[in-house]
Structure 1
């Protein structure tokens, strides 16, 4: 796709064309500060050492409310072609990580797995984004051209519907809404309510969530004159899962601190990586390899420093020919984690993407 889309409940940004690409966030921040561009859009990779997919668009438009496209192409039938790793191997990985967590300094690490989906005719990123936004009206729908990331990404797109806001900045005011701690939704209302209550009372999930809020507090506190981090999370939900969420608000000390700068300071949070960050990131590199843009951040920043960045989850990377989509999901592993339950959590999270593509997951 030629452009960028971020559809939120309050407004949508749509861009077209690329005037300049930036393979580092620092280059994009400098371009905004120097007045070389009025807007930067794109994606940060999961691993901060990898190249970014940021660009200065040729044209753009903000519209009120979520994206409501006119006619978009239909989606072709798709089939699951492989799982990376296979479910049994993911369980074994989690079991090994739990052993590390119980015996070392690692507090939490996120373990992810992927499913590859094949099609005989191209999957349109725009059509998939439209379907995901329609099916997940309160999520943050996005579609990003990843070409600026260089070799291996030319023509690739990242498409998803993220429930998690990394940060929003308007003037000096900053808001974050991290998610960590998950439980499946149930068809029966009484069972569903019980699942949500159980999550809100879960010692394991509350501890996992606390890692994230403590991290954000530590990053933002030196940058803010005021910072409100509630002591307890609230319950929120998507079609597939319950989550623990904490709405965080702050007032920046320095008005020149831009949304993109904040995104690079906050990312990757313990919600997608772990804690301590350096050790968790090294563990993920060792166990999984390169996550590419899954677990990264998608968003925009303008010349005034305002912007929105969402966490790149509930998403898939679509190849340049459109014939394959790689969807990834992860879960936070702590010392109390049950490996089989962690596998189930990734399967539940993958349903957001599979449902949009019309794939019936295993029960």
Structure 2
């Protein structure tokens, strides 16, 4: 009891400082929630080298963990974000101090910030706009009808301009309050930028030799009326189009995880899960790893990006994304989380998120496109996904 009280007191002092979450990494999940302080070493080396191998990165990580322990950092962690393209620079660092806590406690400590006003939004600019996005979807459907690929995930941005710089602590506290069951993250980047959000999707969790993943693919908008909401969820579960999209993801993940697992459990049918805005089809994949040296980040890197974020087949989908999307995804659609020097960790998909840069806020949302997709419906689906972040600003 003394140890728990000590942690809560430290957490209270950290959160109530004027800087609050500034320069701090925050991550919450049902299992592990943490808040960091200080930065021992930033790591920008790409996760994959030109040959598609993680070996060089993992060697660097082991060396940085060794150096951290040498200066007295007990049980060091690496935290931060990996971009959509794992060949690009990472946004990772080893913190000087980590406070492990309960996410309800974190939410409680941040609660006073919910009432603080956010600076007004001056303008909103979709990128691409509606006609261009729908044209992108049509082009993707045409490519699939030609037999070039089975699925591609197309995304769009919404760029907000604010009167003054956004207070990321206030925004984070609102996001956590409005999406209590999601995975929450606040990642300090260079140039005083911040990546934050409330992801519903677990890419990979590893504890000792056990791992799990819960990909989401296939979604439908929640309804205010409870009976209608239930009907929408059941329609999603029965949807041939959405079940096909979901199964492409599960089959691809099982193919990747099978060789590294002594045991792999893949349910035959998806289940329904909800966020504040959407119903999702989800499948929980679990297993036992056959190599104890493989850490959580290495395993997550094998999966990333799943067909839920790129498409299938992966390489063909990524090529089409580069052709059709009028912006580089960078950290959007990547993964965010933590990994300790014993190999344990949690990584979630970087969706339902925003990047803050002074008076600019960029929101990101994507949708899985299959031959049966409808361009207008996909535009509306991405709009629903953007509303997770817009709601934190008091917008719809």
What secondary structure sits across from 1:313 in the alignment? Answer: coil
| d(CA) in 2 for partners of 1:214, 1:65 | 33
| d(CA) in 2 for partners of 1:245, 1:81 | 32
Contact 2:273 2:281 in 1 (8 A): yes
Which residue of 118, 121, 130 corresponds with 1:87? 130
CA-CA distance at 1:230 after TM superposition: 0.4
Contact 2:219 2:279 in 1 (8 A): yes
Which residue of 342, 345, 348 corresponds with 2:381? 345
CA-CA distance at 1:32 after TM superposition: 4.0
CA-CA distance at 1:156 after TM superposition: 1.5
1:101-128 deviation line (CA, Å, top 9, x unaligned)? 1112211000111111111121122221
Contact 2:210 2:287 in 1 (8 A): yes
| C-alpha RMSD of matched pairs (Å) | 1.4
CA-CA distance at 1:190 after TM superposition: 1.4
The answer for the alignment partner of 2:31 in structure 1 is: 10
1:38-78 deviation line (CA, Å, top 9, x unaligned)? 21000010112211101111211110234222443542222
Which residue of 40, 44, 52 corresponds with 1:19? 40
| d(CA) in 2 for partners of 1:357, 1:185 | 20
Whether 1:144 and 2:187 are equivalent positions in the alignment is yes
More helix by share: 2
The answer for the alignment partner of 2:223 in structure 1 is: 186
More strand by share: 1
The answer for the alignment partner of 1:208 in structure 2 is: 245
| d(CA) in 2 for partners of 1:29, 1:15 | 22
1:1-363 alignment to 2 at 5 Å?
Answer: 1-23=22-44, 24-25=46-47, 26=54, 29-34=58-63, 35-37=66-68, 38-66=76-104, 67-68=106-107, 69-70=109-110, 71-72=112-113, 74-147=117-190, 154-288=191-325, 289-319=327-357, 321=358, 323-360=359-396
| d(CA) in 2 for partners of 1:209, 1:14 | 33
Contact 1:43 1:146 in 2 (8 A): no
| d(CA) in 1 for partners of 2:36, 2:59 | 21
1:193-242 deviation line (CA, Å, top 9, x unaligned)? 11100000001100100111111101111000000010100000111110
What is the number of residues matched between the two proteins? 352
CA-CA distance at 1:33 after TM superposition: 2.7
Flag as ranges the 4+ runs of structure 1 deviating above 4 A: none
Runs of 5+ consecutive residues of structure 1 not aligned to the other structure:
148-153
| d(CA) in 1 for partners of 2:377, 2:288 | 39
